[in-house]
A and B are shown apart, each in its own frame.
Chain A
Amino acid sequence: EVQLVQSGAEVKKPGESLKISCKGSGYSFSNFWIGWVRQMPGKGLEWMGIIYPGDSDTRYSPSFKGQVTISADKSISTAYLQWRSLEASDTAMYYCAKHLCSDNSCYSYFDNWGQGTLVTVSS
């Protein structure tokens, strides 16, 4: 069974750094793109970026480039989302999810999702 298990909720102050994680199991972690999606309170889904753990090729949305860092450690099947300096506007639920591959084709859609990590930034 494919599983993506995310790290627990975080409460941080503005200016603090943070790294949240997403551990994959039940599939070949290195060979599937994995991405991050933001959902601010009461709002819709925002595509942040993706990484291919096999070679760490990374694509960012311009809205998030320079604001966060996406990384992965294929040796422990874990992807990360990192902030150097949090702002109150980073308060949101963050989901990791892996790309779909079906019938020898892979697509830029997310078929398995983590449970979400709630990040709260408040002074």
Chain B
Amino acid sequence: DIQMTQSPSSVSASVGDRVTITCRASQGISSWLAWYQQRPGKAPKLLIYAASSLQSGVPSRFSGSGSGTDFTLTISSLQPEDFATYYCQQGNSFPRTFGQGTKLEIK
């Protein structure tokens, strides 16, 4: 299985801050990566697919980059509704796997 490792596991930030979350794959996955946001008690929401494509309806302050083994999710200016847990997921090979999650908390 491909292991997906996110860092940090948690981060504290303030409204208006720029935040970057990293996801590293244990082997190359080209650009087969997605990012999800999960708010407490809710189903996950797809934010970014194919490493850098913004899902329809997702605000442009979210962006993704990377290829191969190293990927980043950037939120350019945090809004109150962005405080949530974020997961990466590889779509390169079976079984698909998620990262362990990064919890974004209010400072």
- A interface residues, Cβ below 8 angstroms from B: 37, 44-47, 49-50, 59-63, 95, 97, 100, 102, 107-111, 113-116
* A95-B44, A107-B91, A110-B44 as given contacts; A47 in contact with B98, CB under 8 Å: yes
Q: Are B95 and A62 in contact (CB under 8 A)?
A: yes
The residue that A63 contacts in the complex, of B89, B95, B100, with Cβ under 8 A, is: B95
- B interface residues, Cβ below 8 angstroms from A: 1, 32, 34, 36, 38, 43-46, 49-50, 53, 55-56, 87, 89, 91, 94-101
Closest A residue by C-beta to B1: A62
* Chain A: minimal CB distance from B100 (Å): 5
CA distance A62 to B1 in the complex (A): 9
B contact patch SS: loop
Closest A residue by C-beta to B46: A111
A contact patch SS: strand
Q: Are B43 and A108 in contact (CB under 8 A)?
A: no
Closest A residue by C-beta to B43: A113
What chain A residues lie within 8 Å of B55 (beta carbons)?
Answer: 100, 111
